[in-house]
Amino acid sequence: MRIWRTNALGSIDMELVFLPKEQWKGQILPIGYTTEQYYDVAVQQSAKGFTVSMELRSFHEPLTISPEKYDFPDSLYQDHWEEAKAYGFLDKGKLVAAIELCPENWSNRLRVTELWVDQPYQKQGFGKQLMNLAKETARKEGNRVLMLETQSCNVNAIGFYLHEGFTLIGFDACCYSNQDLERKEVRLELGWFPDRADH
């Protein structure tokens, strides 16, 4: 897969390549974003069960999530992803976009553990190319679902994933802290199903 086009960065001609673990383990991916909106996740319990709603709302002031916020920044080939494989685009040797995939063999699912495009290279087709690779890998390996994690306040990312055919498959209201619902940063699980996708 290649990306070739002319834009504000000049002429782009880059190929998507495999990133070997021995060379790229520990490579920091400075993932950050600013958002004015969030999906407000609400859970109500009654005698009949639970009602969950997610409604798009606006922050009073824009929220910026910076890489410095995290104690453990995103990086490639973290130890708990034992079977991960990473791929990326290099511009003159510098990593400018990357995806990491790790199989969940016990459930026959494929997880996107990392997806990152450097800010100057965003909206140039890199994210779509990386996601195409993930989808083709899931199809080739016969995985029943391609899944990933994002946050309820990362509205731009959610929009991209929905456009790519993902759907909500679950959430975790205490993944990052015990106040995730109040902080409006709830872990969302999104999934893409190869057998339901148009080929």
Pairing between β-strand 10-19 and β-strand 167-172 as defined by DSSP bridges: unpaired
Given 3.40.50.300, 3.40.50.880, 3.40.50.2300, 3.40.630.30, which CATH number is that of 2-31+74-143?
A: 3.40.630.30
Can you give the residue ranges of every domain in the chain?
A: 2-31+74-143
H/E stretch holding 137 reads helix 126-141
H/E stretch holding 132 reads helix 126-141
Give the residue among 141, 158, 150, 149 at the shortest CA–CA distance from 107.
141
Per-residue pLDDT for 21 more than 70?
yes
**Residues 88, 16: contact at Cβ < 8 Å?**
yes
Q: What is the pTM of this model?
A: 0.91
Contacts of 24 (CB under 8 A, 6+ apart): 76, 77, 86, 95
Tokens of 144: 């029943």
Per-residue pLDDT for 138 more than 80?
yes
Per-residue confidence at 6, pLDDT binned at 50, 70, 90?
very low
Give the residue among 156, 157, 152, 143 at the shortest CA–CA distance from 192.
143
For 88-96, what is the mean pLDDT? 95
For 128-141, what is the mean pLDDT? 97
For 57-71, what is each residue's pLDDT tens digit? 999 999 998 876 666
